[in-house]
Amino acid sequence: MPTVLLPSSAAAFAPRSSPNVVLTSKVAPWLTATLKRVNRVKRPLNNVTQHTKCLTETLSSPNAIWTLCSMMFTKAPEAELEKDTNLLWESIHHYQTIHVEAYVVHVDMVSRNEVAFKLTPETIESLVDFHKEVYSVDAAANTYNWSGKHAQLKKLQEEFVQAANRFVYRTDADALEGLEEDGAGELLCGRSEEVKKAIGNLFIPLIPPPPPMVVEVLRPVPLLPSSTGPEPWWNMPQSAPESWKVLPPSPNPTTTGDSNPNLWASLSFSDAQLSPTPSYSQPYTTEPYQYGCMPTCMPTCMPSSAAISALPLPSMLVQPCSTAFNMGMGFGWGELAPLPYGTTI
């Protein structure tokens, strides 16, 4: 749809003048009925020109003031209000009602089918006073102090004055059905709530700057007492070993469970003369168990000359067999003397 410019009377700080009225070639029946209702003197309404003249004169009357909405505001800053348990008493003494009034500056039923209202100077003055004396004081009290706080408050007040003077409410042209005598009227069909929301959007909150960020200072890692500089330890020159770097020898060597570990070191093949390797022509089952050992231990109980060379330390032998061997023979390892094969005890 084409953009329709508002008349000069709708500009900020512009004085009031007759509204700009543009009607269609066929006037809506509801408009004819409304004009006949609000005019005390019967006037001919037979064509578009007569409708346009009658509507312009009606809306140009000094009493043609519309009440767009009524809003409740506090009378004083919150810190100055006296508290009381009686809510009715508080509502009477703490709050005031501001009737948002306006006059018609533009009627267009051709391109946009709308009507435009501009606030009266009295309404603008009431809103500006509340913003300066109450709203700004509460906003300053509810925010912390910073260097540019006063300048920002002053800027918000100046911007609110400009916004209140520029405010124009536009709605459908059928809102003129609320027209009363002398051109006054009020909005119908819930349009007052739209005006309240639009007026409330003029009060911009005071937003303080974000608090300064806390920067954590990284301190250098302290050097060890033995260090003389930032040179790493692996680049240090090799010097004589210090006392704390040399580990003393272990006073107690690791024991293996053998009471005489030097016995096997001094033992040679000459100390233990072995008999020739016995013949295994006869089965083991024909002879009784030797030296108290079980059949599964017989190869260990009767070692050959080849096996004795790979014989481990006594602590590594199988304990049951070695114990049974000592109990059967009645002498220790130092007295080892193998008996001929097949000899019985």
Packing angle between helix 29-38 and helix 48-59, nearest 10 degrees?
Answer: 50
User: What is the pLDDT, as a whole number, of residue 136?
Assistant: 95
- Judge whether residue 310 has pLDDT over 90: no
pLDDT tens string 171-215: 999 999 999 988 999 998 889 999 999 999 999 999 988 877 777
pLDDT digits (tens, 9 = 90+) for 74-115: 999 988 888 878 888 887 888 999 999 999 999 999 988 999
Q: Is the pLDDT of residue 235 over 70?
A: no
* Mean of all residue pLDDT scores within the chain: 76
Q: Which residue has the higher pLDDT, 59 or 273?
A: 59
What is the model's pLDDT at position 73? 94
* Pairs from 261-264 (Cβ < 8 Å, separation ≥ 24): 261/313, 263/333, 263/334, 264/313, 264/314
Q: What is the pTM of this model?
A: 0.60
φ, ψ of residue 191 to 5 degrees: the values are: -70, -20
The answer to whether residue 284 scores a pLDDT higher than 60 is no
Residue 290 has pLDDT above 50, yes or no: no
Extents of the domains making up the chain: 9-80+89-200, 263-335
pLDDT, residue 332, reads 47
Most confident region among 38-47, 48-57, 226-235, 313-322 by mean pLDDT: 48-57
Residue type at position 342: G
Q: Please say if the pLDDT value at position 264 is more than 60.
A: no
Give the per-residue pLDDT at 42: 85
9: Cα within 13 Å, side-chain hemisphere:
19
Structure-block tokens of residue 147? 């260097």
Amino acid 299: pLDDT: 46
- Which DSSP string corresponds to 73-102? EESS-GGGPPP-S-HHHHHHHHEEEEEEEE
What mean pLDDT do residues 296-316 have?
A: 51
Classify 306 as helix, strand or coil.
helix
Looking at residue 266, its pLDDT comes to 52
- 134 — pLDDT class (breaks 50, 70, 90): very high
In the chain, % of residues over pLDDT 70: 63
